[in-house]
Structure 1
């Protein structure tokens, strides 16, 4: 199979009006990745050597998005949109290049897996000219039935055209198929539009191929794998299925999820074995967590990395560029952005660390803020190894605290602090005996007026 070339033609031209959105349907995300990008990943995993995206509605937006998730794909515009066979022929120039296998897929079926596609390709390699991917929904009502005789697929029959006996068939058309590259254009060009809508239907190639004496067979995918997305409710259902699969995968790989149903992954989340994730944790894109990390409840992590033994949360927010070294601690109600927290350093609570380095073994007290932005530019704060910053301190960048430096609580630090130095940056306290009582009396009198 690896020696066979394969083109995946992904149909993504529909408007998706039932989504009620200005965004093209196939660009709506699951796990932070557009629907169509999930389809692309499945095609590539099944061995597709080239991709052809057939686009229409929102073509410019589609091209811009495709440059990120499928930079090598060709894009072809279907205009006007006259059916699925017509859509595949929009990519005629790609189909005509002489691939061994042509996979025809839909941009709104994000749960399709490589195994189902690989099985269809295997049947092409065994001599079939057309392989239709079918599935068995809980209720077949509304789906086209796959009509088989003697192990061959003879027709795809729409429900309204089925006999009573054919309606009892539970094996239904999932829409996707694999076609021999040698016969693809011959079959597609033979499709007519003598139907109520005047459209060219891809399903017609089943009977066309059979009439030519070519082998047509079906293969079966799981029901969830074939689900298409037409509205926001179905989008949410597909997200739930994807998340359930990913949670299962994480746990089987050695990750502990205390309450799996409350943890949400991105498409690219990486978690090492022996990591423990407590309830209500959300992973955004670009997270890489090593083994043996503990992530406490209600934390939100995006674009961040954590090394072995790091401890995160509860209620922590790690933003892009947050980088935790081994045994670093980021505690409750701490936000970290574009900052390195080195080995054994602690940022335990109620703190913002942005555009900074916290040296190994340093301790950052509650309420500390790195003041990194002046309204125009960002500035860096460098805190040395073993430094101690007292609670409720403001560190005004650009700033450097040397190794072992000590900042007294409640300080506003605007100048560099040398190694092992003690810095105060606060006004001297003044105590006036009896003045508190006088102040309360004046306030009470003013409130009565």
Structure 2
């Protein structure tokens, strides 16, 4: 291709293999790069954009018509858009009535601009999705600025690899805070008191304390926990095991989040979990699931194109029950005796290695990848999907009740762990 400027076009998407897509821009102007992924959900673009698990990624929405409903403050999964960019087929602007409970920026264009986010429209998202499915996720760049073909290609190929970043530390809370359920009147701000971890005191309340280790937690996880009679304390993912024990929790939830669980910078999170496995009931979601499994000695590997959508079928262990789930992850777990880099999107169904009391409790029926892990003797379990939905189905809400029931059992029987396991002190 001759060396010329691409400025005649209002927006350009270039992949690291040199493929280009020309369209129009939405949101703000500029240049942004990230890992190009696709999500097959029919709706929920606000929740997807504000999910911290999409940190630095360029999200392709396979649904062709996007934008035809408004933005509500209550539907955001965090305070910011974490994706680096959005890729859509056709923007159909919302023209409905602005409700009193809606954000001031009540359409997608204004929402993107408010959060300084670039989007590209009017491209062939079907072709792009086929490229990703066949070749795997890759780096890409969206720009509205004057660049030649070679300049853009050099830029995208020098951009950071998603696999090589500690993204959890970029999205975690800076200070611990007690989560309070949002008010019914959305015009009133939600009040959460933030404090350094060493200034958090044990309350006089009789409610059990659930610690949420924040690797990039979605708000609907906290909303669902708030439906139980518990105190919810959200803490930074950098909190040490010693600091956690001082908070005397009744249970620990390992949240979702972005990044490669096997990256060296995540080892400190895994080591913390290892120390706590014998001490408290645990429930891991997505990245939390992966970190828990790695703490048990299993392996992780990168999927070719990942699982991102709200209609993924999951089968529970020893049952014919099928749950339709919301998923957003690019990595999966495989037993430590299996290869760490399978050549395909799928992995064999098997039981964890060297852990006779643990089981892989859920299987993804699309590709047979492991979707759940359970160790009932230590009250630790996890799933490789989003039981809170947002967006997506509610089939797996019961997992929060399962976690709370284990917390209640732990509180009632403080000596349920065997003598050779670590004490809580």
TM-score (norm 1): 0.23
TM-score by length of 2: 0.24
Structure with more contact order per residue of length (Cα contacts < 8 Å, sep ≥ 6): 2
